[in-house]
Amino acid sequence: MIRLEKLNKSYPMADAPVHVLRDLDLFVAEGEYAAIMGSSGSGKSTLLNVLGLLDRYDSGSYTLGDTLIRDVSEREAARLRNQYIGFVFQSFHLLPFKTATENVALPLYYAGVPRRRRNELALQMLERVGLRERADHLPNQLSGGQKQRVAIARALVTKPRLVLADEPTGALDSQTSNDIMDLLASVNADGMTVLVVTHEHDVAAKMRRVIHLVDGRIASDRIQVPS
Amino acid sequence: MFDLDRWTELADGLRTNPVRTLLTALGVFWGMFMLVVMLGFGDGLERGATRSMAGYATNAVYLWGGRTTLPWGGLAPGRYVGFDNSDTEALRQLPGVEHVAPRNQLGGWREGNNVVRGAKTGNYTVMGDVAELAHILAPIVVRGRFLDPLDVAERRKVAVLGDQVVQELFPYGEDPIGQHVAIRGIQFKVVGWIRSHANDDRSDRDNATIHLPFTTFQRTFGFGDRVGWFALTGAKDVPGSELEASVRRELGGRHQVNPEDNNAIGAFNAEKEFAKITALFTGIRFFVWFVGVMTLAAGVVGVSNILLIVVRERTKEFGLRRALGATPTDVVGMVVQEAIVLTAVAGYAGLVAGVVVLEIAARLIGTDHATMGTPTVDLGAALGAGLVLLIGGALAGVIPARHAAAIQPVVALHAE
């Protein structure tokens, strides 16, 4: 699913460029359920951005599925993101003036799906995350956990092959966090590759693989039995 | 553009801050309103000016005899140049000339009452005229007719009265046609009642005039074959100035006038007057468009500024949309569409408000005001303004849209 070889990424800074990812090699197979951990500044968010085609890398190579991601245009990146990748963010990023259904349907709009079909699929997805009855609510009428469920529904609605979650439980209490992680686990059980960036050990403990980043390098990479 | 979804997206965007949207729209509204109102009143002024000149052929030339100031062919300067009937015939043969009207005038200023009808008397300008004058004067015939060629050929004792003459000599409601008036004691039968088209002091003069057949006039009042002056018009494509030059040459040749001598034959050429007025209104029109378009431009800049703020505020949203699969083009489209819709709606409202104001003004001014005609905006001007607006709207969107397209999803999504 994901293959990184000698991936490097640095940000230009005033005095010297900051080397964020250093010669990173990583292979993630289809259907994996993995956590990317690391302290602040370890490069985990940058890695997620590169994987999500939200950011470019300097050297090495990144292959997503069968596609080598190198010098893709903005337009092509937008298409690949829309088609292959679902995003879940720490702060949900729901559009405040749109109902749950409309938020979920948004990626389908950019995929060119007709409206009637879009709403059908969005409702199905809300059903899947257990929020069918909140379909017409605006985000500010939903609790944090519900917002994140809507966001997950939005990430899943295009049936992507890869779900990238950036601190999905960062803004939630522990009970809600568990619910969300259970939901992600069931998404993974459906066969989707799920990568979660987190710094919470409770969260990482629920994953089958934990990749630890330190200073832009993989410090440890182990398979575990989810708790 | 006709995708319903894009419109709902747009409505969402505008609805989030209605007050700001309204204030922004106000700038464009005002610009358009000003443009329309100014165009309308400019048009009204022009209409008024054109109407005051109505009834005067645009390439009419008037010529009268003067006094020579230069010697020519052995003749000393200071000689009076007078025209006669042979000049009329010569001018009629001249190429480029369409209608020739020789004219003679009786008394007028300080003469005292010269016209009598029953118990009423009056002092009016009495003219000897030919039927062709109708092409130059273009009067409105209230009753009866203007002079015709037979009146002139048969030296009939008939008269055509101006409006004021009728009003003053005949009681209200009485038909003057077929009645008689005495001019310097000689009876003339009234065959026509005319009124001037124009709307200024010239029209007052025309309305206080009595027209007699030219030949009758010459014989009755002892003018012999003298002609006071000529009024003539050129063929359609002959400009007044050219006509004036060729007629001057012809008359100058016939009366031994030095070709350099401009005082020997006086001439007035309406073309110059028309050109002046045309230039004036071209200037006014340009000014109106300039001011209007600039005001509109200020409104458009306002829209652009507001959209820049909107883009900044919606950075996160644009970033999210990009992450979910929106291309930079999608984002540019959203912003440009918003700009166009905002300017188009506001501009259209301004257009409508402007037209309403013009309509009210038209009612108040009425149709017979001397210098101000009915203010209107023609379809072409409205379409032109609309086009300016659409282009302006698109331009207003360009800079904010480029900012929006430059938003990197990574940066946007992490801006907490």
- Alpha-carbon distance B391 to nearest alpha carbon in chain A (angstroms): 27
Beta carbons of A110 and B321 less than 8 Å apart: yes
B10 interfacial to chain A (CB closer than 8 Å) = no
Q: What one-character DSSP code corresponds to residue A58? A: S
pLDDT confidence tier of residue A204, bands split at 50, 70 and 90: very high
| Tens digit of each residue's pLDDT (9 = 90 or more) over A141-181 | 999 999 999 999 999 999 999 999 999 998 889 899 999 99
B409 interfacial to chain A (CB closer than 8 Å) = yes
| Tens digit of each residue's pLDDT (9 = 90 or more) over A22-71 | 999 999 999 999 999 988 888 888 899 999 998 889 999 999 988 899 88
B315 interfacial to chain A (CB closer than 8 Å) = no
Of A45, A89, A97, the CB nearest to B12: A97
- All residues of chain A having their beta carbon less than 8 Å from the beta carbon of residue B325 are 78-79, 81-83, 107, 110-111, 158
| Tens digit of each residue's pLDDT (9 = 90 or more) over A61-114 | 999 988 899 888 889 999 999 999 999 998 899 988 889 999 999 999 999 999
Tell me if B400 sits within 8 A of B335, measured CB to CB.
yes
Cα separation, B122 vs B118, in Å, equals 11
pLDDT confidence tier of residue B54, bands split at 50, 70 and 90: low
Beta carbons of A75 and B329 less than 8 Å apart: yes
Beta carbons of A154 and B410 less than 8 Å apart: no
- Alpha-carbon distance A153 to nearest alpha carbon in chain B (angstroms): 13
Has residue B234 got a pLDDT over 90? no
Q: pLDDT value at position B275?
A: 79
- Alpha-carbon distance A21 to nearest alpha carbon in chain B (angstroms): 16
- All residues of chain A having their beta carbon less than 8 Å from the beta carbon of residue B315 are none
Beta carbons of A87 and B324 less than 8 Å apart: yes
- Alpha-carbon distance A146 to nearest alpha carbon in chain B (angstroms): 19
Mean pLDDT of the B349-370 span: 82
Per the prediction, chain A carries an average pLDDT of 91
- All residues of chain B having their beta carbon less than 8 Å from the beta carbon of residue A158 are 325
Per-residue three-class SS string for chain B: CCCHHHHHHHHHHHHCCHHHHHHHHHHHHHHHHHHHHHHHHHHHHHHHHHHHCCCCCCCEEEEEECECCCCECCECCCCECCEEHHHHHHHHHCCCEEEEEEEEEECCCCCCCCEEECCEEECCEEEEECCCHHHHHCCEEEEECCCCHHHHHCCCCEEEEEHHHHHHHCCCCCCCCCCEEEECCEEEEEEEEEECCCCCHHHHHHHCEEEEEHHHHHHHCCCCCEECEEEEEECCCCCHHHHHHHHHHHHHHHCCCCCCCCCCEEEEEHHHHHHHHHHHHHHHHHHHHHHHHHHHHHHHHHHHHHHHHHHHHCHHHHHHHHHCCCCHHHHHHHHHHHHHHHHHHHHHHHHHHHHHHHHHHHHHHCCCCCCCCCCCCCHHHHHHHHHHHHHHHHHHHHHHHHHHHCCCHHHHHHCC
- Alpha-carbon distance A179 to nearest alpha carbon in chain B (angstroms): 24
Has residue B145 got a pLDDT over 90? yes
pTM: 0.66
Interface test with B, best of A82, A89, A93 (most B CBs within 10 A): A93
B316 interfacial to chain A (CB closer than 8 Å) = yes
- Alpha-carbon distance A39 to nearest alpha carbon in chain B (angstroms): 17
Report domain extents, chain B.
Answer: 4-53+275-413, 107-220
Residue with tokens 């204030």: B23
- All residues of chain A having their beta carbon less than 8 Å from the beta carbon of residue B414 are 45
Beta carbons of B410 and A91 less than 8 Å apart: no
Interface test with A, best of B315, B317, B321, B324 (most A CBs within 10 A): B324
B46 interfacial to chain A (CB closer than 8 Å) = no
Cα separation, B132 vs B141, in Å, equals 15
Beta carbons of B325 and A95 less than 8 Å apart: no
Has residue B415 got a pLDDT over 70? no
- Alpha-carbon distance A79 to nearest alpha carbon in chain B (angstroms): 6
Q: pLDDT value at position A208?
A: 93
Of A74, A79, A82, the CB nearest to B328: A74
Q: pLDDT value at position B197?
A: 76
Lowest mean pLDDT among B156-160, B265-269, B384-388: B384-388
Tell me if B156 sits within 8 A of B212, measured CB to CB.
no
- All residues of chain B having their beta carbon less than 8 Å from the beta carbon of residue A81 are 323-325
Q: What Å distances lie between residue B143 and A96, B152, B212, B266, B284, CA to CA?
A: 78, 20, 16, 35, 40
What is the percent of chain B with per-residue pLDDT over 70, rounded to a whole number?
A: 92
Has residue B221 got a pLDDT over 50? yes
Task: Please give the residue of chain B at the shortest CA–CA distance from A156.
Answer: B324
Lowest mean pLDDT among B182-191, B354-363, B364-373: B364-373
Residue with tokens 């749109």: A98
| Tens digit of each residue's pLDDT (9 = 90 or more) over A5-14 | 999 999 888 7
B76 interfacial to chain A (CB closer than 8 Å) = no
Of B316, B327, B328, the CB nearest to A93: B316
Has residue B259 got a pLDDT over 80? yes
Cα separation, B307 vs B300, in Å, equals 11
| Tens digit of each residue's pLDDT (9 = 90 or more) over B81-109 | 899 999 999 999 998 898 999 999 986 55
Has residue A124 got a pLDDT over 60? yes
Beta carbons of A93 and B320 less than 8 Å apart: yes
B4 interfacial to chain A (CB closer than 8 Å) = yes
